[in-house]
Copies of this chain bind each other. A is one copy, B any other.
Amino acid sequence: MRTAFHSQLDALLHTMADMCELGGTAMERATRALLDVDIVLAETVISDHRDFVTLGVKAENDAFNLLALQSPVATDLRAVLGCMQNVGDVFRMGVLARHVADIVRRRHPEPAIPADVNDYFAEMGRIAVNLGHNAKDVVLSGNPDRAAQLACDDDAMDELHRLLFSIVLDQKWSHTVGVAVDVTLLSRYYERFADHAVTVGQRVIFQAMGAPTG
């Protein structure tokens, strides 16, 4: 029998899953804005962030009400608390996408990154969409294979982050210090984005196994 609790938990999981997908899409669009020096798209990412914040506050309130009104125990309690913690991580994914868009806006009409690192950021953007998409799937399915895929994508992101560092620090770096600073910060935003997606996946899987959520 489906209880009111499980219906509400399902709704909460779907809100959170939507946030994962939206976070990935925001990062993908911020990446396109970065690569195409597209100020309109950057502004869209920045203004759409408000909806993301609204969704986050709604998810948090829904989780609170679920706990307050249904007093779940054991696995159900763990599931709601996990959602609450995950909202924090997914929320940061959206913030990091906005940070990328902020840099695009700050440098406009100049490109924030030089053409010779475009491919790295294109790849980071591609991985970010995957991360958002797979985080959504993990949230809805609890599928450990998808969580493992998140970890793989995180490794790929870390590798790109390291590569970009070595490019910026190479003697052959021919751009300004300002460009190096932007590339460093941007790269860090993508790397943190991936970390948050992995944390969401790990938390879902640990919960399913009944282990601590931390």
Q: Which residues from B are CB-within-8-Å of A61?
A: 212, 214
Query: Which residue in chain B gives the minimum CB-CB distance to A68?
Result: B77
Compute how far the CA of A67 lies from the CA of B168 in the bound complex, rounded to whole angstroms: 49
- Does chain B have a CB within 8 A of A169? yes
- Does chain B have a CB within 8 A of A188? yes
Q: Is the interface of A mostly helix, strand, loop or mixed?
A: helix
Mask, A19-63, CB within 8 Å of B = 1, is 000000000000000000000000000000000000011001100
Number of copies: 2
- Does chain B have a CB within 8 A of A184? yes
Interface size on A, residues (CB 8 A): 30
Q: Which residues from B are CB-within-8-Å of A78?
A: 64
Nearest Cβ in chain B — how far from A134, in angstroms? Answer: 22
Asked whether A60 lies within 8 Å of B180 as measured between CB atoms, the reply is: no
Nearest Cβ in chain B — how far from A57, in angstroms? Answer: 5
- Does chain B have a CB within 8 A of A73? yes
Not counting A57-B214, A180-B181, a sample of 8 additional A-B residue pairs whose C-beta atoms are within 8 angstroms of each other reads A60-B212, A61-B212, A67-B67, A68-B74, A81-B84, A84-B85, A85-B85, A168-B181
29 contacts between A and B (CB under 8 A): A57-B212, A57-B214, A60-B213, A60-B214, A61-B214, A64-B78, A64-B212, A64-B213, A67-B67, A67-B77, A68-B74, A68-B77, A71-B71, A71-B73, A81-B81, A84-B85, A85-B85, A85-B88, A88-B88, A165-B181, A168-B177, A168-B181, A169-B177, A169-B178, A180-B180, A181-B181, A181-B184, A184-B184, A188-B188
